[in-house]
Amino acid sequence: MRSLGKKNTVLLGLGFQALQLAWYGLGSQAWMVWAAGAVAAVSSITFPAVSALVSQNAESDQQGVAQGIITGIRGLCNGLGPALYGFIFYMFHVELTELEPKLNSNNAALQGALVPGPPFLFGACIVLISFLVALFIPECSHGAKKHSNSVSGTVTDTPEQGSDEDVEPLLPNGSIWGLAAFEEPGSQCTEL
């Protein structure tokens, strides 16, 4: 990650993941599954690279929120993924319990199928969309600023008496990433 950079590492991991899923989806021989598994090992760098990129661009007091969101999304996908892909297997009449496909009315469409693994190809398409989204990640951090009560402009140690809102909002201005919408004039980007 140090020589490629965080963004390029994410792109590399997503590229290998799309290749691995497409290979699983189109593979018809046992050796193809094993070879795709080797490609999957390289694609495992994606999540640590995304976590590092988010950590670099989040403000110091929002690291937990940012990492929690990333981990929560990953957990949600780990839970919903098997149900979605099981449904896709069902829609394409792929029976995972049979070693030899039988010639009957249910598997007649599978016998002539050009694509042995539709759920994997669906996953490869989703990863390609993620790859396109990752292309728009900023090349560098725009200098995540230290948070100092940006809502009121001042830092107070003691809340005012009688105020209903004695607590600073967790996410001021709705921002959790600490990224500016546009690069500020005169700012310079450096890769860490």
Q: If you write DSSP's letter for every residue of 47-90 in order, what string do you get?
A: HHHHHHHHHHHS-GGGHHHHHHHHHHHHHHHHHHHHHHHHHHHH
Residue 169, in any domain of the structure: no
Q: Per the confidence metrics, is the pTM higher than 0.75?
A: no
Q: What token pair was written down for 176?
A: 């959790």
Q: How far apart are CA 6 and CA 157, in angstroms?
A: 38
Phi, psi of 58 (to 5 degrees): -85, 150
Query: What is the arithmetic mean of pLDDT over 161-167?
Result: 55
Residue 126, in any domain of the structure: yes
Highest mean pLDDT out of 28-32, 95-99, 151-155, 157-161: 28-32
The CA radius of gyration of the chain, in Å to the nearest whole number, is 23
Residue 35, in any domain of the structure: yes
Residue 174, in any domain of the structure: no
Residue 60, in any domain of the structure: yes
**C-alpha dihedral, 168 to 172 to 174 to 176, nearest 10°:** -100
Q: How far apart are CA 137 and CA 31, in angstroms?
A: 36
How confident is the model at residue 67, as a pLDDT?
93
Residue 166, in any domain of the structure: no
Handedness of CA 55, 140, 2, 35 (dihedral sign): positive
- The structural domain count of the chain equals 1
Residue 159, in any domain of the structure: no
Q: Each residue of 4-24: pLDDT tens digit?
A: 888 899 999 999 999 999 998
Residue 182, in any domain of the structure: no
CB 14 within 8 A of CB 123: no
pLDDT band at 182; cut points 50, 70, 90: very low
Q: What token pair was written down for 92?
A: 């394409």
Domain that holds residue 24: 6-134
Token pair 């996410």 is found at 171
How confident is the model at residue 85, as a pLDDT?
86
Burial letters 159-177, b for 16+ CB under 10 A, else e: eeeeeeeeeeeeeeeeebb
